[in-house]
């Protein structure tokens, strides 16, 4: 692994490079142990750069074989070479010269999965963010755009397929069993978008005719025999291409678009120009092996990577501080796509749940950073929920503030003004200012300040004057390295809900700009008066989750209950019930800690029953409503002195109370939702399965529950139902004959299918209670487990540490000890994965004192053992 230099990169230090590389020619002579890469770079001095400026190229663990400048072997005094750097001290005086660099590497031994590596015998690359420098010396930074021509040579038998970016140019035989292919990508691109794939794979072909009538050949490459599992991904791809034309006016620009699925991949997928590379988990699916959540993820990630072609590739980032320019925007685009393809309300609730589960704890803990960070030590550690998910929320707020039309005009201007460029967040904001005439300078703080803003809101209604007054106070909790915060512009969508459930009319008087159902909060305090309000309303605030904030509202439970049944905004209606559940759980937790047994108000059960049976609501929405806040959600709401066992007990008690209170209705509905039709992954069918599986989760807590779940498991005709039942058995009835039998049956049926076995590992790793650790230790020795495969690691170790509150946070600290060993073991091969796993301890300071001390000890031993910049960076910031 690269030795950590401890160097910190700062946004304000950005300087354009003295040299450009307009053209890059690469020749790969592939072989597992000794691949030769010949790079011929056309280097140009930037206008105005000093003639004697040295040319310093990035490298990472490279072995240089040959170096020529304008055709002559480089002399020792002209350059300095190390594994991590190539400096041409005395570059030629000409404005333009050619550099030939030959390097050698062993893809078969590359377990970091960055640069050129082998996955199941397939050569593939991953260059974002700084992997290209593991292939050759280069100006490996996103503002260096180059036109690539790539020649790939390999053995025909093992690698009949030779792919790279752009369009195919030529291919032929080389004799001695070897062959070659040449690819040319006419679009200048940064090195992080370079890709190569060579191997023996099956192909699914299709075609797409773009809006201007150009034909595009589509290919999805998968392991032989898995072609029929790529049909859904192909369909999602074509729908994405059409949607980007219809909604953003964006057309695809090459004559081919290829996707390759590989089994060993650090992240979800990668948007390399014309050659997306995917974690196979986000390509392969059928009803037998994939859940509805898998189908939804495939659709979203296929779309995400495709949408990058415009937001990321045609317009890229000036530097890695601007990562959210492509990621936040592209997540926003894939969210909108899924909302249009499925149910907008359901999608929005799911997004907010994800944001709160992943981004809020990040923003409220030691790893908090602005959507656009100002400093980093290891850029790989900034592919975070803040950059992606909060970054998307910021784009959504721009649309909320500007309105749909001006937002679209701003996006059009962005594509027009910056196509072919490496841009910044300032450029992005400017197009919206220019398109709308609005000043976004205060809004820009969303990119600059870390932390989750808070609004405290109180209201008073004067019946005689028909006047409603809102007192709004904005506060911004401090975050690491930002003690003092500036006030933000928060667009708060709202409604005043009358007794018949419809929104009341009002006139907004003063105090803040109120426009189209949005209060624009931009000061510390606002007093907003509404006149002409005919009756005392229930307040529906932050509708659609218009701003990624926390909110405290003085509101009676009666109003909350009313909103949970009547709010016309589906998100806020869901939120109202969720808040009631959350408050009940927090109170229940307090009772458990005081030695008591939690009791829950009967109206809570009645409300749950009404929502479950309300046929005017989509089943998927009802499932989301009935799904109790997770243990981590409750912990986040409580905020400090967390005892995961108490939370678990309170949550179990509430689930049981709701199940007991609604047994006949839940049972009837459960049976009514049984679907005998052929499987379809569409959102409505998935919603019915989600509701039925949610009801199973409740009913399984009642007498006879294990039998019911076993019945569900054995009669399941798709993976969604099968996996749901297995989880219920393994979590609610651990150790029962039914659970043991189902786990064994599942293992027998899917032992040969790694992606399905991941579910088996994951379900067991998530089983609550102290014995989970022994289970996980045992599963580490299972033949289907592998320490080198990221999907396996995430399924077992990632799930245990990030999603098993009672198991991981065992009070004796043994969960942490296992975790420390595993993270350090992972780091030896794959530092990026190790660093990701290590973030599981980021909320250690909110634990109760005993666990907190043990977590700290674990972090200290991680800090002592860490070697890589990736892991050191996470651990040191977590401890700071």
Contact residues for ligand TRP, defined by CB under 6 A: 126, 128-129, 266-267, 269-271, 304-305, 327, 380, 383
Tokens 């190390």 belong to 82
Provide the pairing of β-strand 196-199 with 275-279.
unpaired
Nearer to ligand TRP, 189 or 731 (CB): 189
Count other C-beta atoms under 10 Å from residue 684's C-beta: 12
CB-nearer residue toward ligand TRP: 303 or 763: 303
To the nearest whole angstrom, how small is the minimum distance from the Cβ of residue 309 to ligand TRP?
A: 11
Task: For residues 205 and 34, give the distance between their C-alpha atoms in angstroms, rounded to a whole number.
Answer: 33
- Cis peptide leading into 123, omega within 30 of 0? no
The 3-state DSSP composition of the chain as helix, strand, coil percent (nearest 5) reads: 45, 20, 30
Structure tokens at 343: 């149910």
In terms of CB distance, is 180 or 383 closer to ligand TRP? 383
The contact pattern for Zn ion, residues 235-264, with x = CB under 5 A and - = no contact, is: ------------------------------
Bridge partners (DSSP) listed for residue 218:
206, 257
CA distance 803 to 358: 11
Q: Nearest Cα to 637, choosing from 572, 581, 676, 686?
A: 581
Question: Is the torsion defined by CA of 314, 315, 321, 323 positive or negative?
Answer: negative
CB of 597 to Zn ion, least distance (A): 47
Q: Which is nearer to Zn ion, 327 or 378 (CB)?
A: 327
Instruction: Give strand pairing partners of 468.
Output: 461, 530
In the bound complex, what is the minimum distance in angstroms from residue 21's beta carbon to ligand TRP? 22
Contacts 24+ apart (CB under 8 A), 413-420: 414/315, 415/249, 415/250, 415/310, 415/314, 415/315, 418/315, 419/314, 419/315, 420/145, 420/187, 420/188, 420/314, 420/315
Kindly tell me which of 305 and 567 has the beta carbon lying closer to ligand TRP. Answer: 305
Q: Which is nearer to ligand TRP, 126 or 878 (CB)?
A: 126
Structure tokens at 591: 């009772």
Which lies closer to ligand TRP via its Cβ, residue 270 or residue 398? Answer: 270
**Least distance to ligand TRP from the beta carbon of 619, Å?**
31
Longest Cα–Cα distance of the chain, Å, equals 95
Q: Which residue has the tokens 């049944």?
A: 565
Q: At what angle do helices 631-638 and 644-661 cross, to 10 degrees?
A: 120
What Cα–Cα distance (Å) separates residue 390 from each residue in 170, 272, 441?
A: 44, 24, 18
**Which is nearer to Zn ion, 313 or 330 (by Cβ)?**
330
Q: Total residues at the site for Zn ion (CB under 5 A)?
A: 2
Q: Least Å distance between CB 267 and Zn ion? A: 9
Q: Using the structure block, give the residue that is written with the tokens 């667009």.
A: 491
Cβ pair 202, 284 in contact under 8 A: no
From Zn ion, ligand TRP, none, which one binds at residue 611 (CB under 5 to 8 Å depending on kind)?
none
User: Minimum CB separation from Zn ion for residue 322, in Å?
Assistant: 13
Smallest distance, Å, CB 276 to ligand TRP?
9
Least separation in angstroms between residue 49's CB and ligand TRP is 30
Please give the Cα distance from 655 to 308 (Å, whole number).
42
Tell me, residue by residue from 595 to 634, as one string, x for binding to Zn ion by CB under 5 A and - for no binding.
----------------------------------------
The C-alpha atoms of residue 72 and residue 99 are separated, in whole angstroms, by 9
269 binds, among Zn ion, ligand TRP, none (CB under 5 to 8 A by kind): ligand TRP
Of all residues in the shown chain, the one whose CB is closest to ligand TRP is 267
Least Å from the CB of residue 144 to ligand TRP: 18
Residue 302 Cβ vs ligand TRP, minimum distance, rounded to whole Å = 11
Partner whose footprint covers residue 126, from Zn ion, ligand TRP, none (CB < 5 to 8 Å by kind): ligand TRP
Binding at 128: pick from Zn ion, ligand TRP, none (beta carbon under 5-8 Å per type): ligand TRP
Site for Zn ion in 20-39 (CB under 5 A): none
- For residues 855 and 142, what is the distance between their CA atoms, to the nearest angstrom? 38
| Nearest distance, CB of residue 106 and ligand TRP, angstroms | 20
Q: How far from chain centre, in Å, is Cα 61?
A: 29
Binding partner at 266 among Zn ion, ligand TRP, none, C-beta below 5 to 8 Å by kind: ligand TRP
870 contact, one of Zn ion, ligand TRP, none, CB 5-8 Å limit per kind: none
Question: Is residue 512 within 8 Å of 521, Cβ to Cβ?
Answer: yes
Q: How many angstroms separate the CA atoms of 365 and 640, rounded?
A: 12
* Buried residues in 183-202 as b, exposed as e (16+ CB within 10 A): bbbebbbbbbbbbbbbbbbb
- When the beta carbons of 128 and 336 are compared against ligand TRP, the nearer one is 128
| Whole-number Å distance between alpha carbons of 490 and 542 | 10
Contacts of 444 (CB under 8 A, 6+ apart): 425, 429
| Signed CA dihedral, 666, 668, 669, 675: sign only | positive
Binding span for Zn ion by CB under 5 A among 52-60, 218-226, 319-327, 713-721:
319-327
- Site map (CB under 5 A) of Zn ion, residues 323-352, x = contact: ----x--x----------------------
Q: How big is the chain by its Cα radius of gyration, in Å?
A: 28
Give me 709's structure tokens.
């779940």
Q: Could you please report the per-residue DSSP string of 616-629?
A: TS-HHHHHHHHSPP
CA 440 to chain centre: 27
Which does residue 129 touch among Zn ion, ligand TRP, none (CB within 5 to 8 A, set by kind)?
ligand TRP
Question: What residues act catalytically?
Answer: 305
Number of Cβ atoms within 10 Å of the Cβ of 465: 11
Least Å distance, CB 327 to Zn ion, is 5
Q: Name the binder of 380 from ligand TRP, Zn ion, none, CB < 5-8 A by kind.
A: ligand TRP
Question: Which is closer to ligand TRP, CB of 192 or CB of 545?
Answer: 192
Q: Which residues make beta-bridge pairs with 170?
A: 182
662 binds, among ligand TRP, Zn ion, none (CB under 5 to 8 A by kind): none
Choice between 324 and 742, CB closer to Zn ion: 324
Compare residues 384 and 693 and give the one whose CB is closer to Zn ion. Answer: 384
Residues that bind Zn ion (CB under 5 A): 327, 330
């Amino acid at each position: 692994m690269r030795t950590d230099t401890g160097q910190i990169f700062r946004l304000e230090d950005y300087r354009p490079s003295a040299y450009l590389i307009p053209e890059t020619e690469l020749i790969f002579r592939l072989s597992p142990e000794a691949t030769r890469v010949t790079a011929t770079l056309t280097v140009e001095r930037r206008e105005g750069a000093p003639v004697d400026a040295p040319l310093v190229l990035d490298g990472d663990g490279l072995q240089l074989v040959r170096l020529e400048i304008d055709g002559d072997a480089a002399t020792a005094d002209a350059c300095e070479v190390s594994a991590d750097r190539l400096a041409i001290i005395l570059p030629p005086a000409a404005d333009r010269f050619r550099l030939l660099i030959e390097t050698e590497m062993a893809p078969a031994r590359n377990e970091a999965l960055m640069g050129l590596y082998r996955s199941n015998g397939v050569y593939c690359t991953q260059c974002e963010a700084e992997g290209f420098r593991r292939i050759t010396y280069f100006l490996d930074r996103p503002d260096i755009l180059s036109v690539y021509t790539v020649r790939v040579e390999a053995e025909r038998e093992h690698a009949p397929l030779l792919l790279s970016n752009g369009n195919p140019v030529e291919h032929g035989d080389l004799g001695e069993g070897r062959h070659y292919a040449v690819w040319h990508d006419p679009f200048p691109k940064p090195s992080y978008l370079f890709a190569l794939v060579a191997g023996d794979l099956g192909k699914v072909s299709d075609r797409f005719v773009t809006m201007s009538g150009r034909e595009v050949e589509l290919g999805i490459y998968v392991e032989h025999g898995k072609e029929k599992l790529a049909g859904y991904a192909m369909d999602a791809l074509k729908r994405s291409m059409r949607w980007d034309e219809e909604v953003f006016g964006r057309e695809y620009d090459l004559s081919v678009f290829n996707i390759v699925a590989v089994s060993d991949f650090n992240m979800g997928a990668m948007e390399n120009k014309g050659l997306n590379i995917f974690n196979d988990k986000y390509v392969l699916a059928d009803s037998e092996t994939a859940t509805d959540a898998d189908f939804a993820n495939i659709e979203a990630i296929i779309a995400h990577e495709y949408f990058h072609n415009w937001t990321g590739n045609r317009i890229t980032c000036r530097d890695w501080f601007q990562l959210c320019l492509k990621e936040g925007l592209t997540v926003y685009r894939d969210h909108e796509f899924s909302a249009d393809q499925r149910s907008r309300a359901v999608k929005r609730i799911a997004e907010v749940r994800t944001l709160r589960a992943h981004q809020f704890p990040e923003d409220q803990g030691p790893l908090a950073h602005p959507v656009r960070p100002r400093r980093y030590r290891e850029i790989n550690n900034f592919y975070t929920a803040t950059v992606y998910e909060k970054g998307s929320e910021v784009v959504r707020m721009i649309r909320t503030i500007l309105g749909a039309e001006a937002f679209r005009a701003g996006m059009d201007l962005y594509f027009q003004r910056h196509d072919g460029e490496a841009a910044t967040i300032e450029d992005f904001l400017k197009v919206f200012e220019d398109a709308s005439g609005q000043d976004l300078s205060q809004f820009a703080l969303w990119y600059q300040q870390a932390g989750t803003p808070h609004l405290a809101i109180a209201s008073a209604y004067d019946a005689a004057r028909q006047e409603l007054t809102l007192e709004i106070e904005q506060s911004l909790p401090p975050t690491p390295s930002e003690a003092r915060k500036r006030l933000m512009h928060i667009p708060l969508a709202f409604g005043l809900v009358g007794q018949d459930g419809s929104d009341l009319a009002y006139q907004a008087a003063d105090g803040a700009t109120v426009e189209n159902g949005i209060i624009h909060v931009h000061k510390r305090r606002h007093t907003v008066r509404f006149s002409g309000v005919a009756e005392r309303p229930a307040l529906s605030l932050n509708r659609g989750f218009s701003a990624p904030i926390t909110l405290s509202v003085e509101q009676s439970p009666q109003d909350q209950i009313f909103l949970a049944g009547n709010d016309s905004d589906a998100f806020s209606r869901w939120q109202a019930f969720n808040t009631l559940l959350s408050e009940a759980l927090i109170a229940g937790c307090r009772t458990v800690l005081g030695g008591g047994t939690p009791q829950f108000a009967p109206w809570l059960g009645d409300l749950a029953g009404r929502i479950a049976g309300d046929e005017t609501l989509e089943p998927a929405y009802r499932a989301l409503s009935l799904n109790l806040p997770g243990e981590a959600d409750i912990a986040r709401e409580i905020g400090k002195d967390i005892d995961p066992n108490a939370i678990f007990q309170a949550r179990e008690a509430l689930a049981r109370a709701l199940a007991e209170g609604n047994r006949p209705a839940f049972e009837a509905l459960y049976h009514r939702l049984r679907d005998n039709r052929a499987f379809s992954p569409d959102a409505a069918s998935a919603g019915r399965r989600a509701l039925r599986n949610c009801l199973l989760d409740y009913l399984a807590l009642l007498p006879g529950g294990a039998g019911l779940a076993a019945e569900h498991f054995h009669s399941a005709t798709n993976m969604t139902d099968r996996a749901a039942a297995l989880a219920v058995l393994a979590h609610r009835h651990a150790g029962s004959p039914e659970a043991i039998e189902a786990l064994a049956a599942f293992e027998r049926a899917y032992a040969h299918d790694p992606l399905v076995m991941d579910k088996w590992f994951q379900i067991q790793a998530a089983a609550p209670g102290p014995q989970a650790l022994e289970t996980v230790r045992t599963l580490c020795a299972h033949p289907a487990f592998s320490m080198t495969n990221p999907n396996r690691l995430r399924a077992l170790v990632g799930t245990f540490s990030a999603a098993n509150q009672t198991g991981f946070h065992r009070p004796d600290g043994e969960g942490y000890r296992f975790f420390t060993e595993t993270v350090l073991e992972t780091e030896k091969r794959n530092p990026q994965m190790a660093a990701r796993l290590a973030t599981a301890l980021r909320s250690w300071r909110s634990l109760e004192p005993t666990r907190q001390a043990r977590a700290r000890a674990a972090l200290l031993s991680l800090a002592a053992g860490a070697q890589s910049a990736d892991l050191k960076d996470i651990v040191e910031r977590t401890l700071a």
